[in-house]
Structure 1
Amino acid sequence: MAKTITIVGATGAQGKGVVRAFLNNPAYHVRAITRNPSSEAGKALAAQGAEVVAADLNDPASLQTAFEGSHIIYAVTNFFEPFTAHQSATKAMEVEVQQGINLAQAAASTPTLEHYIWSTLPNALAISSGKYLVPHFEGKNRIDAYIRDKQPDLLRKTTFFWVTWYHANYQFPMFRPYWIGTAEKYIQLANYAPDTPIQTIGDVSVNVGSFVKAAVEQPDKTRNGAIVLAGCAGYTAGEMLQMWAAARGTKAQFVQVSGQAFREVWPLWAEEMGGMMEFWEEFRERSWSDPSGGKVLTKADLGVQGLQSLEEAYKGLEL
């Protein structure tokens, strides 16, 4: 009998990648969760063979209904939706935390559930001993704590799944390289040094499914609160920019500015993203570590292969 894998946010960047990994596998029945099954994206999933079900992360009852009969759940929240809507990191964290708790409670009340894969991020506040609160990390970390402290049965079924830097982050205004005609090159302004290390998933919609599939197929290794790092490779910020430029057949220059100047150019957004980059610059490889000392499972630990390279991903990225 096929196991039902239910994918929250199935029309989003992560969700599409997870759907792709399981859709044509007869061992799994794919249930795609979206707020609007009648959207073009929802119809496309149905045409590909997914069961498309409506649910809203702000509506616990709809999640419980959508999760019925699920054996595996891939759960994700989108901090940046309420962040954009409210123009407030504090409000966005509040919304995200409640959505994450709604998801966890609905999953915990699903008797058929065997594996809960929760898309989260490292605890920057704990790693930095309180120096860096990165809002789109912190909201997820509070949900992590809820699962660990309030849902022990769910914790035994849970994988904490860390998805690293998207290649498409260059589409964010504060990361975008800008063409300067008089210099005949692209310029990327940054409040961090060019040697800042960045772990990347590359094209998340292409590569994330391989990590989820590996986690699902090795439950004894990945459940019980284990952490999986969904990252294909690591580069410095400067190397990444030059890789993007080479893939596009152009020239680019990395220009470091002060944190104050960066925030003045992009208020609010730079505070959120700039803080993350300063955290990565200072804590480097420790940025993707478990502050409690636990092991973080990598692609090598899980035997993940056949990933698309960042260079290849950049060839198709339009800014």
Structure 2
Amino acid sequence: MAPSKPIITVVTGTGAQGRAISRAFHRSGKWHVRVLTRNPTGQVAQALEMEGMELVQGNFEDKGALLRVFEGAFAVYSVTIPPWHQQYDLSMGEYEQGVLQADAAKASNVQIFLFSTLPYVGPHFMGLGGVELYDG
């Protein structure tokens, strides 16, 4: 059965940024939130599913996975991951990830493409002391 609300797909929806965005859209009551995750059995993914969000397993660097998760979506919240991020084994740079996600969204007839690339810049980031405004 098709969702009665417009679908927004959140790429890397279980990460810090994606998790907050997924919850904000879900709690608005206006969206059916579809979360792209590498690990749907993980603790964060399971919590999001229990809250009522849809999980789809896939790699955000795989065009086939993106086309599958973007199918039927009205909007996409796109997140790219910097190459130095230690929790991912990346094959692409952020620019290439962004282009791939935008191309897949266009091919899937997504109407709204929201893009974010800001990494964690908290007080422990590379010993630089953080950027409080953006980390909040």
Distance 1:169 1:199 in 2: 7
Matching of residues 1-319 of structure 1 within 5 Å: 1-79=4-82, 82-84=83-85, 94-111=92-109, 113-120=110-117, 163=118, 169-176=122-129, 200-203=133-136
Give 1:115's aligned amino acid. I
- The alpha-carbon deviation at position 176 of structure 1 amounts to 4.5
Decide whether aligned partners of structure 1 residues 14 and 60 sit closer, same or farther in structure 2, where only a CA change above 3 A counts.
same
Match of 1:218 in 2: none
Decide whether aligned partners of structure 1 residues 61 and 93 sit closer, same or farther in structure 2, where only a CA change above 3 A counts.
closer
Larger radius of gyration: 1
- The alpha-carbon deviation at position 94 of structure 1 amounts to 4.9
- The alpha-carbon deviation at position 97 of structure 1 amounts to 2.6
Count of residue pairs the alignment pairs up: 130
Distance 1:21 1:62 in 2: 24
Give 1:175's aligned amino acid. L
Tell me the SS of whatever aligns to 1:58: coil
Tell me the SS of whatever aligns to 1:31: strand
Tell me the SS of whatever aligns to 1:98: helix
Distance 1:101 1:84 in 2: 19
Decide whether aligned partners of structure 1 residues 61 and 94 sit closer, same or farther in structure 2, where only a CA change above 3 A counts.
closer
Distance 2:126 2:84 in 1: 15
CA deviation vs aligned residue, 1:158-212 (integer Å, no higher than 9, x gap): xxxxx5x85x6102241259xxxxxxxxxxxxxxxxxxxx682342xxxxxxxxx
Give 2:78's aligned amino acid. A
Q: Among all aligned residue pairs of Structure 1 and Structure 2, give the percentage whose two residues are the same amino acid.
A: 32
Give 1:43's aligned amino acid. Q
Kindly indicate whether structure 1 or structure 2 has the higher relative contact order, using CA contacts under 8 Å at least 6 residues apart: 2
- The alpha-carbon deviation at position 26 of structure 1 amounts to 2.9
CA deviation vs aligned residue, 1:66-99 (integer Å, no higher than 9, x gap): 11010010001110xx3256xxxxxx89532322
- The alpha-carbon deviation at position 27 of structure 1 amounts to 1.9
Tell me the SS of whatever aligns to 2:122: helix
Distance 1:55 1:47 in 2: 19
**2:36 touches 2:69 (CA, 8 Å); kept in 1?**
yes
Give 2:133's aligned amino acid. T
Distance 1:8 1:103 in 2: 9
